[in-house]
């Protein structure tokens, strides 16, 4: 079974802090994604990566950056956290050419 | 751009009732279509999929048919159970390698 692990289930940070959300997958999947989930808005794509050191902006990249130094790890960075970044963050991965995405359990981030 | 629209929730049903959750999409070309489910406290998991027109995806008693003429992929189940209570997401992948999700529909099934 594919396992996608997010480093924290719950996180509370202060406004202005730099925040790192980590995602690790234990299969050899090329594609990795970061979404945020908000009530009534569904999942919105922040960034995605098709390979090591490659990244592309999704629909809402403002205020975020990403890092993919190794194939199994995809990090989401909030450069200066703000209260409107309070949300559930979901990491996903899938194998190129396949059609099933695998998700982590999510990180619920609260910025105070 | 590509998009997915789902019926708004929450949907509340009694056990053994019939379920329909509507999903329509806008996309160029021939996207693959999916239903994902999110149980409380968990990430999303694939429920079913269809990759071309007229395909029917099915799993755990749920089914959905890819209707290109109406750009729809409605989710149905003949008899829901309490354990089906979850949030259901319709999604598409238009060969660009990324999933586009609808808003999600919360289903609550009462005994």
Q: What is the mean pLDDT of residues B10-30?
A: 94
Least reliable range by pLDDT among B53-67, B68-82, B89-103: B89-103
Distance CA A38, CA B62 (A): 25
Q: What is the mean pLDDT of residues A9-22?
A: 97
Asked if B3 reaches chain A (Cβ–Cβ under 8 Å), the answer is: no
Largest separation between any pair of C-alpha atoms in chain B: 43
Q: What does the pLDDT read at residue A97?
A: 62
Q: How far is B79 from chain A (nearest CA, A)?
A: 26
CA A90 to chain centre: 5
Token pair of A62 as six digits: 């403002």
Chain position carrying tokens 């159970």: B81
With bands split at pLDDT 50, 70 and 90, how would you rate the model's confidence at B69? very high
Q: What percent of chain A has pLDDT over 90?
A: 77
pLDDT at A88 over 90: yes
Residues A45-87 have pLDDT tens digits of: 999 998 898 999 999 999 999 999 999 999 999 999 999 999 9
Q: How far is B94 from chain A (nearest CA, A)?
A: 11
Q: What is the mean pLDDT of residues B90-101?
A: 84
Q: Would you list which residues of chain A are within 8 Å, Cβ to Cβ, of chain B?
A: 4, 31, 33, 35, 37, 40-45, 48, 50, 58, 90, 92, 96, 99-106
Determine if the peptide bond prior to B10 is cis (ω within 30°). yes
pLDDT at B31 over 70: yes
With bands split at pLDDT 50, 70 and 90, how would you rate the model's confidence at B2? confident
Q: What does the pLDDT read at residue A23?
A: 97
Distance CA B28, CA B32 (A): 11
Distance CA A48, CA A61 (A): 10
- Residues in contact with B86: Cβ distance below 8 Å, sequence separation at least 6, in sequence order: B37, B38, B39, B40, B106, B107
| Helix, strand or coil, per DSSP, at residue A32 | strand
With bands split at pLDDT 50, 70 and 90, how would you rate the model's confidence at B46? very high
Least reliable range by pLDDT among A22-26, A95-99, B16-20, B82-86: A95-99
* DSSP per position, A65-108: EEEEEETTEEEEEESS--GGG-EEEEEEEE-TT----EE---EE
Q: What length does chain A have?
A: 112
CA B80 to chain centre: 15
Contact A103 B97 (CB under 8 A): no
Residues A35-44 have pLDDT tens digits of: 999 988 889 9
Which residue in B has a C-alpha nearest to residue A50's C-alpha? Answer: B97
Q: Which chain B positions have a beta carbon within 8 Å of A23's beta carbon?
A: none
Contact A42 B49 (CB under 8 A): no
pLDDT at A1 over 80: no
Asked if B46 reaches chain A (Cβ–Cβ under 8 Å), the answer is: yes
- Which contacts (CB < 8 Å, 24+ apart) does range A57-62 have? A58/A33, A58/A34, A58/B98, A60/A36
Q: Which chain B positions have a beta carbon within 8 Å of A92's beta carbon?
A: 44, 99
Asked if B40 reaches chain A (Cβ–Cβ under 8 Å), the answer is: no
Q: What does the pLDDT read at residue A99?
A: 67
Handedness of CA A59, A30, B45, B21 (dihedral sign): positive
Handedness of CA B24, B27, B33, B36 (dihedral sign): negative
């Amino acid at each position: 079974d594919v396992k996608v692990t997010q480093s924290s289930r719950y996180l509370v940070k202060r406004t202005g802090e730099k925040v790192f959300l980590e995602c690790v997958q234990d299969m050899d999947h090329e594609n990795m994604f970061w979404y945020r989930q908000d009530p009534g808005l569904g999942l919105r794509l922040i960034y995605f990566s098709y390979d090591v050191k490659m990244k592309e902006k999704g629909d809402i990249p403002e205020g975020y950056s990403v890092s993919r130094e190794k194939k199994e790890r995809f990090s989401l960075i909030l450069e200066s956290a703000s209260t409107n970044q309070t949300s559930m963050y979901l990491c996903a991965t899938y194998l190129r050419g396949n059609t099933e995405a695998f998700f982590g359990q999510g990180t619920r981030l609260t910025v105070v | 751009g590509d998009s997915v629209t789902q019926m708004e929730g929450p949907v509340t049903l009694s056990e053994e009732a019939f379920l329909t959750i509507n999903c329509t999409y806008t996309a160029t070309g021939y996207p693959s279509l999916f239903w994902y489910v999110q149980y409380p406290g968990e990430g999303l998991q694939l429920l079913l999929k269809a990759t071309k027109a007229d395909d029917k995806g099915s799993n755990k008693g749920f089914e959905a048919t890819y209707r290109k003429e109406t750009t729809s992929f409605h989710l149905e189940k003949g008899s829901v159970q309490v354990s089906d209570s979850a949030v259901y997401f319709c999604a598409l992948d238009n060969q660009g390698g990324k999933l586009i999700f609808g808003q999600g529909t919360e289903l609550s099934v009462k005994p």
